[in-house]
């Protein structure tokens, strides 16, 4: 069976001397207010970070890269397009400091850039691999509503319980 | 408590990169046998392993000294790094050895402190992290999904029943799912 989620891992090289500006852009555009990940339907988790590759043995000098990773409802190709549309400005603010980034305005160029910079995921462990975000959200809501209903219905007789149940179900 | 993101970068020699790919193929063919003990720990939301065969370059500057092949481990879990590493070392040391045995400077998977030091040295700080349900643990999500399934079955059972039968079925249902609510 196909998993309900798919991972995206993107890695892009920062242009020399632009790491501080990229770090500031992450702070200003991703960490302030609502995360752009939150505006993309189907996003379970997302991360954005600057990282410096490990050096070859005995060497020191490596330059920073940007890594964007997300776990989203499959197919991830559709999620990438939703990300491009809803987070164009925050994407451009950070990846605009990377070599070869074409910007989010042109869907075809952006798609080619994603393909060129995407890392293949070799192996995954997923807590709930068969659940979409909507299913997870619905299940968590049901769980808390059901607990509240069970508590409120504790001392009802059979007729009142069934009436309350039907009322509750109509409200869901 | 919000889940914790962790990113670990491990340089590996060429032969180990080939081996890692083989283990992933084996794990996929094993249909979940490798994933199961890790999923049973019930604190991993998502964990992914990737291989960077060569770090992206910038033609405007001279090549740097980045290691050619790097194993990238991205994970999000409940609890602290310490609990996470401790559980890995206790529960799946052989799987860790199969993945990291050839990684440069990896101290072996059987003792907590050297592994914790290795991860501390090789982790990359996450600048921004977002979770759709930051307050829900992996266990809570798993329980809620199971409850949802059982609830749907319960609803099918009680459709059009009498008050008395519904009340009996409701009590039975609550008893059945008490650990999930």
- Sign for the pseudo-dihedral over CA of B14, A119, B121, A44: negative
Closest by Cβ to B44, choosing from A11, A49, A125: A125
Q: Are strands B70-77 and B128-131 parallel, antiparallel or unpaired?
A: unpaired
Instruction: Scan residues 144-163 of A and list those with Cβ closer than 8 Å to B.
Output: 146-147, 150, 153, 157-159, 161-162
Q: Is the pLDDT of residue B132 over 90?
A: yes
Share of chain A above pLDDT 70, in %: 99
The average pLDDT across A35-54 equals 97
Minimum mean pLDDT range among A149-158, B67-76, B77-86: B77-86
Distance from CA of A53 to the nearest CA of B (A): 6
C-beta atoms of A45 and B129 within 8 A: yes
Instruction: Scan residues 22-51 of A and list those with Cβ closer than 8 Å to B.
Output: 23, 26-27, 30-31, 35, 37-38, 43-51
Cα A72 to Cα A56: distance, rounded to the nearest angstrom: 34
Specify the residue for token string 């990169």. B17
Region at A37 (left for phi over 0; alpha for psi -120 to 50; beta for the rest): alpha
Of A16, A26, A39, A111, nearest to A101 by C-alpha is A111
Output phi, psi for B72, to 5 deg. Answer: -110, 125
The average pLDDT across A74-95 equals 98
A132 to chain B: closest CA residue: B145
Q: What is the pTM of this model?
A: 0.94
Q: Which residues of A touch B57 (CB under 8 A)?
A: 13, 99
Q: Is the pLDDT of residue A172 over 80?
A: no
The average pLDDT across A98-123 equals 97
Question: What is the Cα Rg of chain B in Å?
Answer: 22
Output phi, psi for B84, to 5 deg. Answer: -65, -50
Average per-residue pLDDT in chain A? Answer: 95
Q: Is the pLDDT of residue B76 over 70?
A: yes
Cα A157 to Cα A167: distance, rounded to the nearest angstrom: 15
B74 to chain A: closest CA residue: A69
pLDDT at residue A106, as a whole number: 97
Bridge partners for A118 per DSSP: A10
The average pLDDT across A101-112 equals 98
Would you call A78 an interface residue with chain B, using a CB distance cutoff of 8 Å? no
pLDDT at residue B41, as a whole number: 86
The average pLDDT across B139-167 equals 95
pLDDT at residue B91, as a whole number: 87
Instruction: Scan residues 88-117 of B and list those with Cβ closer than 8 Å to A.
Output: 104
- B interface mutation test: which of A33, A54, A138 has the most B CBs within 10 A? A54
Which span out of A17-26, B36-45, B55-64 was modeled with the highest average pLDDT? A17-26
Cα A53 to Cα B9: distance, rounded to the nearest angstrom: 7
CA distances from B17 to A124, A159, B70, B88 (A): 17, 66, 8, 21
The average pLDDT across A31-49 equals 97
Tokens at B157, concatenated: 């059972």
The average pLDDT across A103-123 equals 97
Share of chain B above pLDDT 70, in %: 100
Average per-residue pLDDT in chain B? Answer: 93
The average pLDDT across A21-29 equals 98
Q: Is the pLDDT of residue B96 over 80?
A: yes
B68 to chain A: closest CA residue: A56
Q: Band the pLDDT of A2: cuts 50, 70, 90.
A: low
pLDDT digits (tens, 9 = 90+) for B31-57: 777 788 888 889 999 999 999 999 998
The average pLDDT across A42-52 equals 98
Q: Is the pLDDT of residue A1 over 70?
A: no
pLDDT at residue B109, as a whole number: 92
**Which residues are CB-neighbours of B141 under 8 A, at least 6 positions away?**
A127, A128, A131, A136, A139, A140, B45, B133
C-beta atoms of B141 and A7 within 8 A: no
């Amino acid at each position: 069976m196909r998993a309900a989620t798919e991972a995206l891992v993107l890695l892009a090289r920062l242009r020399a001397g632009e790491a501080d500006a990229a770090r500031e852009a992450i702070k200003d555009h991703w960490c302030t207010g609502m995360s752009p990940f939150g505006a993309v339907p189907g996003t379970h988790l997302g991360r954005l970070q600057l990282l410096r590759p490990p050096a070859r043995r005995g060497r020191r000098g490596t330059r920073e890269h940007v890594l964007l990773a997300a776990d989203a409802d499959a197919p991830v190709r559709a999620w990438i397009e939703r990300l491009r549309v809803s987070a164009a400005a925050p994407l451009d603010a950070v990846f605009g400091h990377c070599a070869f980034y074409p910007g989010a305005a042109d869907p075809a160029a952006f798609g080619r850039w994603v393909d060129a910079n995407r890392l293949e995921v070799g192996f995954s462990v997923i807590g709930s691999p068969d659940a979409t975000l909507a299913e997870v959200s619905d299940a968590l809501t049901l769980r808390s509503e059901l607990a509240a209903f069970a508590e409120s219905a504790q001392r009802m007789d059979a007729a009142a319980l069934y009436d309350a149940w039907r009322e509750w179900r109509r409200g869901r | 408590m919000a889940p914790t993101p962790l990113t670990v970068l491990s340089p590996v020699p060429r032969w180990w990169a080939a081996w890692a790919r083989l283990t992933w193929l084996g794990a996929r063919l094993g249909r979940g046998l490798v994933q199961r003990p890790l999923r049973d720990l019930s604190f991993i939301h998502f964990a992914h392993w990737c291989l960077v065969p060569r770090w992206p370059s910038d033609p405007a500057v001279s090549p740097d000294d980045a290691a050619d092949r790097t194993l990238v481990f991205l994970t999000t879990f409940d609890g602290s790094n310490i609990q996470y590493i401790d559980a890995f070392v206790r529960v799946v040391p052989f799987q860790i050895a199969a993945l990291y045995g050839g990684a440069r400077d990896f101290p072996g998977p059987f003792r907590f402190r050297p592994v914790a030091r290795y991860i501390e040295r090789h982790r990359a700080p996450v600048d921004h992290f977002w979770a759709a349900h930051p307050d829900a643990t992996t266990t809570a999500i798993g329980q809620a999904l199971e409850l949802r399934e059982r609830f749907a079955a319960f609803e099918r059972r009680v459709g059009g029943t009498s008050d008395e039968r519904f009340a009996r079925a409701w009590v039975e249902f609550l008893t059945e799912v008490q650990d999930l609510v």
